[in-house]
Chains A and B, each alone.
Chain A
């Protein structure tokens, strides 16, 4: 099996299937917008068309009613939650987006790229974000940082590629859900990004013009880039 295919299969097991199983519980904990993303979206021109690729439970889709936001996610359970909240959304894969090129004013990818298990797939996902953006348009990507520390001030993760457990609360257990993991603990795969790493991946994308802004917020790295004219 090729490396890319193995990567996709690995992510199916340790990312997509996990989100499908934990969606209602996950969604219940994900209501607060990250301040940087909220500020960014509230400052885009009225009626901009925005793609939220990997939109999760859709917490950003309604944050600025003056925008036309379209969400997509590989997890059908999360997309069902978005639809029930009245948002425009679809099921799709962030390494192969179903949009025509050069069509969105702004594209955001929040807490998505850290779920890809190979460098090639991370770059592929960034290339897709840039492909669907209009020339001169902006892309914002947000990923977990390796540099995060725990309450004692010690480095939380010893390695960059880790499983982060999700403890599913009993009341969120679906009745017909088979093969639940022991103790209802699900392992989600993450690649923790080091400072500068996301910028370096963007630099491998031919359609990127420049890095507009980089920030560190609440244990995450944020990079905003613009697309070539």
Chain B
């Protein structure tokens, strides 16, 4: 069963669609790589802060677009579900605010010298909301469940082969090869620890009756309408990024499912909901200067939007090539020169994004802005010159041609968020230098099924993941730059994720990005920050290291 995971290594890494993931995670700040070696878990703060606030409380009602399929991390990797179950389950480790990792359910951990065995020592005082203890059995049970091939998140675990109980409060992960990103993976709530007794009791219904040790418990779920969470009275944490180390102050935290953004906005104004997540930039900006509302931003970013070029699989299974007209690097460079990304970030995204000229998101280990110099700047004249040199001369109707063929391309994009607007601007700017651009806008389902075989010359995508193996995912899509199988790149990526030393790993990721950019296999665009808008009475929301909202200290002022 593990064989196929091993063969693909972290190329098997599954990525949630960035726009969905962002709705769940918000932006994100930098994180160090996994600290190797033994490390003390954080022990910030004394046990539960007294008095869950006599006057603090209230009901926080969050409006958002997405529907939740299941609250069982073994069933779904969809963003809207993750946004909820990340509040119900705790993980072994979590990212610490300053970068690196700190213990959550685990107090500390150590790695064997060969990097193939990771031992986690659990805190002995943690219980599930059911009262059952969070022990080694629960951890082993949770991971064995996640390693079944029917689990969408299974491949995230990369070379993990087995999870064993050492004693009641110690577990050991056995790896097929060194995996420097293990802590990155274990800190995502896809690998939250579940209560085995509840899983056994509810079976297939566990996704509707989740039991974890996180800050909230599920109170009520009216499918399609609302999910009501209440504080977990048994909750305690050592988080250093919140003040309240006991159960949250809020009386209730309600996620309302409201498909239309306009209806969400009306609900926010009427007070029926007091917070919106995942609002498009052009809507969020309207609340910026209104004293009745607050616009909160995550810290950094875990997503990267980019343009990539169509590729043709090599018939002999060798190195794939770019599809004409982009088989000439000058035509790819012309695209980068022709599109004014800065203006797109300012005008379409209203600054809720950071211009990023590198393949790694700004908040991810290995991000190196100096690599941006490898990407051509906005310069339409240079674009025209390069196209001339490549033999594409201006023809009738402002469309260039070569040997009687027009410079016509199909430009694909997902039909969601601000993407259609951006696609039109890019189309217009490419046409100004002599391309003839046809836009294809598709929903996710159609896109992923048609892109591998479709007539795609240029595409715009946005992917999100909080670890540097997002690069494996970008070149593992199965179309566009996802067919880019330059052996140098694949070798660098494989070495990077098994390199335990931070500096050496960073250098390997830098080289990998250089390969991509020197070949201009993709044109990086920006890293988005998804804003949260709240009514002014909502107080105390903090953010975790990835920019995901924390509700430990939150309350709604009367």
A and B bound?
no
Please list the residues of chain B having a beta carbon within 8 angstroms of any beta carbon in chain A.
none
